[in-house]
Amino acid sequence: MRTTIKDVARASGVSPATVSLIINQKPVSISHETKEKVYKAIKELNYRPNQLAISLVKSTTNTVGLLIPDSTNPFMANLVRRIRLKLIDLGILVITGNTDYDPSLTKKYLRAFADRRVDAIVITQLDFEKEEDVINCANIVRELDVPIISYGRDVFNISNLSTIEVDQVQIGYLATRHLLSLGHRRIGCSTGNARLDVTKLRYEGYKKALKEFDLTPDPDMIYHGQFSIESGSESLSYLLGQNATAIFAFNDLIAYGLYKSSKAYHLSIPENLSIVGVDDIPYSDIMDPPLTTIAQPMEAVADCIVDTVRKSLGGNQESIHQIYHPILKVRGSTAHV
């Protein structure tokens, strides 16, 4: 059985109230000898305070719920790891939930976190294929009486939601403009799901760059798939059929798939095909050749998320909206046409 405060009191010869005062370091006059007896009993009995009881008294659990859409995605896994380690350094317990992009599971986690009285919830994805799923999850966020910090845009103006995002339009613009500057004009796009906000925004950046070069977007140059290696691999034959000399992969995993399939076509990167990815995940600079990619400033994003959590735990309930700019990292996968 779990050791209780009454067991500690009995072993040290004092009242449970006295033990409570000592444990919570209340400013009352208790002799050094009595404190030593209580501390000795706590150690011998391996007593741990009841955190639920403490949370009821303090109205805080020192716990944060963290939602991740896909724990196998290196980009998301890296972001979540940074957030979790920084929160742990602050003495904050992190409960992580993996939703697998399932809106119903997202809703269940949101309610479960709230029921367990977490002090804040961090969401790294609130974007789904169906608009009704986005709206339903947003309504739950709006109803919860807990600060929520989201990596991504807030399109609903929710008062308890802080948003930290990277400019996704700029990501598409930087990738495409880099390829245009190298002389490419037949630039294909291998995208994630067409219904997702992040896909739409990166495509807007693609079109913005084309417009600067007086080019009209060709819908035949777009392959809509998923943010996966398999999808990237499948997209290559289609885009080569459209005479693409360069491809903007909407994330690095898609780019890896393009690398994989290019071997079957005996294509040399970048001599026969230039490729730009997004995310700068850890393997991108050791690819052969190293992948040119658009990096998102994850350290700054993680710091901002953790700082927002820290402030909310300190009583600051004011929501924020912070936008960071992506960075083009030119490596060996792009060359002049």
pLDDT in tens, the chain (337 residues): 678 888 888 888 988 888 878 877 677 788 888 888 888 888 888 877 655 454 444 456 789 999 999 888 899 999 999 999 999 999 999 999 999 989 999 999 999 998 888 999 999 888 888 889 988 998 898 888 889 999 987 666 787 889 999 999 999 999 999 999 999 999 999 999 999 999 999 999 999 999 999 999 999 999 999 999 999 999 999 999 999 999 999 999 999 999 999 999 999 999 999 999 999 998 999 999 999 999 999 999 999 999 999 998 877 778 889 999 999 999 999 999 9
Exposed/middle/buried for 200, CB within 10 Å: 0-12, 13-18, 19+? middle
Q: What is the pTM of this model?
A: 0.82
CA distances from 138 to 26, 131, 142, 144, 156 (A): 42, 11, 6, 10, 7
The 3-state DSSP class for residue 329 equals strand
Residues 71 and 100 in one domain: yes
Residues 158 and 307 in one domain: yes
CATH number at residue 231: 3.40.50.2300
Residues 105 and 211 in one domain: no
CA atoms within 13 A on the CB side of 53: 7
190 domain-assigned: yes
191 domain-assigned: yes
251 domain-assigned: yes
331 domain-assigned: no
The tally of domains found in the chain comes to 3
Residues 267 and 290 in one domain: yes
Largest CA distance in the chain: 86
- Quickly tell me which residue has 């037949």 as its tokens: 186
Nearest to 221 by CA among 175, 194, 187, 255: 187
Residues 240 and 178 in one domain: yes
Residues 187 and 251 in one domain: yes
**Under 8 Å CB-to-CB from 220, ≥6 apart: which residues?**
242
306 domain-assigned: yes
**Range of the structural domain that residue 153 is part of:** 58-165+298-324
337 domain-assigned: no
Q: Are strands 292-295 and 327-329 parallel, antiparallel or unpaired?
A: antiparallel
